Amino acid sequence: METQTTKEKVNTYQVAQGRVKRAVEQLDLPDDVYEWLKSPDRLVECGIPVEMDNGKIRVFTGYRSQHNNALGPYKGGIRFHPDVDADETKALSIWMTFKCAVARVPFGGGKGAVKVNPRELSMKELERLSRKYMQAMAPILGPEKDIPAPDVNTNAQVMAWMTDEYCKIKQHNDFGVITGKPLDMGGCVGRETATAKGTFYAIREAARVKNIALNEAQAAVQGYGNVGYYAALFLNQAECKIIAVNDSTGGAYNPNGMDPTALKEYKNETGSVKGFPGSDNITTEELYAMDCDILVPAALENQITADIARTVKAKIIVEGANGPTTPVGDMVLNDNGVLVVPDILANSGGVIVSYFEWVQNNYNYYWPEAQIEDRLQQKMMDAFHYIYDYHCDCSDKTTMREAAFMYALKRLADTMKTRGWWG
């Protein structure tokens, strides 16, 4: 099988800005709107000194980017990853503004990050880092200001430490400051699986419009963290065959399909999906070139470059990750007739259920699981169809991604104008 070695040079921040610029042009809005939205309202970068278990101090770099709050308080996850930087955090905060506008949840966009490999830390070190991050950022966060949530390598436990630290600083419980918390701290049932559930609904609707029967389809999933695993599980429950998955250490392929839960257990034991019994090892390039119907990128940014896109045989790509496709990759996929359901729509299930969590925290009244499930499904189906229809109503060449950005920008620009911010 062909492998690709050439990598496009991609700056994620420029990619995000390019998407906004294109939408401004397509909607024929004044350049002022782009000037306003091309960078965040505020970027806080701080050194976070943490005492390690050996008594030594290590200083980690932390970020919070607050992009835009025209439609509501800033909202977005915090990721822990060794490769994060200011540009990536700013880009991700732009995406959050547009994601919330597409999903019609009353939030703006924000994102946080810490440059760290959390796997190198003990639980106690991770706790101290999480609390210190909150100490540094508390002045700019709050249920009406900016509300973080989990993202890559963070989870309900990290959110619990951060929320607890915030409550200590404020000297009262204020659980609405963060979403994605454990259930007993005001968390929402179904939040852990929400992003993947939403991605599954987006896949289901995309399959419908492409006349693909899910119970006869084959899928490949890149990334086997929270989003990748649950997306594979929900697809499998709909009788779609999971023929390939990978993670940062390698990949597994079995044309007869693999059981997502057994794969997860195997990964928990061995640290990798590679070597899963009955499967062949595959590279990421091979995964993307897989002869299948559905591809779900659920890892990091800039995975589907032009070179990779040229090898894609799938009919639909549904982006569980943020920013997995490069702009040139996008053009190639579009030219080849692949339907790409963009990140700001396809992975909005997480922030939709975060919205439900925040509403429940504000009211101190908690809804039954079935209600959350129904409302998530309804919101995802609505969002899919109004963006899909908008894309169909635009010119032939308008992608679903462009339609999503235009739809969100229209709401944003109108509100900013009504608020007297421009025009």
H/E segment holding residue 126:
helix 123-137
Give me the least distance between CB of 221 and ligand GLU, in Å please. Answer: 17
Where in 383-422 is the site for ligand GLU (CB under 6 A)? none
- Separation of first and last alpha carbons in the chain: 55
Largest CA distance in the chain: 62
Window of 75-83, 200-208, 306-314, 409-417 that interacts with ligand GLU by CB under 6 A: 75-83
| Closer residue to ligand GLU, CB minimum distance, 308 or 346 | 346
- The only residue of 127, 146, 151, 165 in contact with ligand GLU, by rule CB under 6 A: 151
Q: What is the DSSP string of 18-60?
A: HHHHHHHHHTT--HHHHHHHSS-SEEEEEEEEEE-TTS-EEEE
- The only residue of 75, 90, 115, 379 in contact with ligand GLU, by rule CB under 6 A: 75
| Closer residue to ligand GLU, CB minimum distance, 153 or 322 | 322
- Contact call for residue 354 and ligand GLU (CB under 6 A): yes
How far, in Å, CA of 104 to CA of 387, rounded? Answer: 12
| Closer residue to ligand GLU, CB minimum distance, 99 or 204 | 99
| Closer residue to ligand GLU, CB minimum distance, 109 or 329 | 109
H/E segment holding residue 111:
strand 109-114
> How many CB atoms sit inside 10 A of residue 139's CB?
10
| Closer residue to ligand GLU, CB minimum distance, 316 or 351 | 351
- The only residue of 199, 284, 322, 325 in contact with ligand GLU, by rule CB under 6 A: 322
How far, in Å, CA of 103 to CA of 384, rounded? Answer: 9
- Contact call for residue 199 and ligand GLU (CB under 6 A): no
Where in 80-119 is the site for ligand GLU (CB under 6 A)? 99
Closest CA to 109 of 147, 155, 165: 147
> How many CB atoms sit inside 10 A of residue 411's CB?
17
Closest CA to 147 of 75, 65, 71, 63: 75
| Closer residue to ligand GLU, CB minimum distance, 97 or 179 | 179
Which is the catalytic residue, given 90, 99, 111, 241?
111
Q: What is the DSSP string of 353-377?
A: HHHHHHHHHHHT----HHHHHHHHH
- Contact call for residue 179 and ligand GLU (CB under 6 A): yes
How far, in Å, CA of 315 to CA of 151, rounded? Answer: 28
- The only residue of 40, 73, 77, 342 in contact with ligand GLU, by rule CB under 6 A: 77
How far, in Å, CA of 50 to CA of 368, rounded? Answer: 40
Per-residue binding letters, 276-305, with ligand GLU (x by CB under 6 A):
------------------------------
Count of residues of this chain found to bind ligand GLU when the rule CB under 6 A is applied:
12
H/E segment holding residue 74:
strand 74-80
Query: What's the residue count for the chain?
Result: 423
Closest-approach residue to ligand GLU (CB): 77
Give me the least distance between CB of 385 and ligand GLU, in Å please. Answer: 20
Give me the least distance between CB of 124 and ligand GLU, in Å please. Answer: 25
H/E segment holding residue 195:
helix 191-209
**CA Rg, the chain, in Å?**
21
- Contact call for residue 121 and ligand GLU (CB under 6 A): no
How would you classify the pairing of strands 218-222 and 241-247? Answer: parallel
- Contact call for residue 76 and ligand GLU (CB under 6 A): yes
| Closer residue to ligand GLU, CB minimum distance, 151 or 247 | 151
Window of 73-81, 117-125, 215-223, 407-415 that interacts with ligand GLU by CB under 6 A: 73-81
Per-residue binding letters, 323-352, with ligand GLU (x by CB under 6 A):
------------------------x--xx-
The verdict on whether 379 is a catalytic residue reads no
| Closer residue to ligand GLU, CB minimum distance, 202 or 351 | 351
Produce one character per residue of 355-393: b if its CB has 16 or more CB atoms within 10 Å, e if not.
bbbbebbeeeebbeeeebbebbbebbeebbebbbebbee
Give me the least distance between CB of 30 and ligand GLU, in Å please. Answer: 29
Where do contacts with ligand GLU occur on this chain (CB under 6 A)? 75-77, 99, 149, 151, 179, 322, 347, 350-351, 354
Any idea which residues carry the catalytic annotation? 111
